[in-house]
Amino acid sequence: MSSQYLTFDVDRERYALPILRVRGILEYQPMTRVPGSSPFVAGVFNNAGAVTPVIDLAARLGLGKTPLTNRTCLILVGLDYEGGELPIGLMVESVRDVLEIHGEEILPAPDFGSRIRLDYLAGLTRAAGGFTALLDVDRFLAAEELLEISRTAGQTVN
């Protein structure tokens, strides 16, 4: 069985996430900064009437801020949150393409020792030549970060 993954760049490295989780891809657009929010929250923007928080994926992964170019994109995903779906935008350097990955091509991330947990990492694949990190969209944000982001959006999640 195979699944499709959307590949994109963060800090010049390729990452992928399951395309079933992607609600849309937008060009970068100016957003409203939210005072007091975490450094990885780039701001909020109006997505067809819904206030949508945007996470700078590079900043969340400790790789500095995503540079603004004409290739900067927002990947819209819905995160599992309190039984509902929290829509957020992931700001990335650029979107590449869609990759077909078979289940057996997904390798578990290696063990870096018991104290090191890479929650953002669902696994690695060689499907695109070299390793590509698969992003775990439901685990890369901690519960308290999700809470903060849902408050940033100023909306209740149903």
Residues forming the site for another protein (CB under 8 A): 10-11, 13, 61-63, 107, 109-116, 118, 120-121, 124, 126, 130-131, 133
Nearer to another protein, 98 or 118 (CB): 118
Smallest distance, another protein to C-beta of residue 69, A = 20
Nearer to another protein, 31 or 124 (CB): 124
Q: What is the DSSP string of the chain?
A: -EEEEEEEEETTEEEEEEGGGEEEEEE----B--TT--TTEEEEEEETTEEEEEEEHHHHTTS-PPP--TT-EEEEEEEEETTEEEEEEEEESEEEEEEEEEGGGEEPPPP--TT---TTEEEEE-TTSS-EEEE-TTTSS-HHHHHHHHHHHT----
Smallest distance, another protein to C-beta of residue 87, A = 24
Smallest distance, another protein to C-beta of residue 11, A = 8
Nearer to another protein, 20 or 116 (CB): 116
Smallest distance, another protein to C-beta of residue 120, A = 7
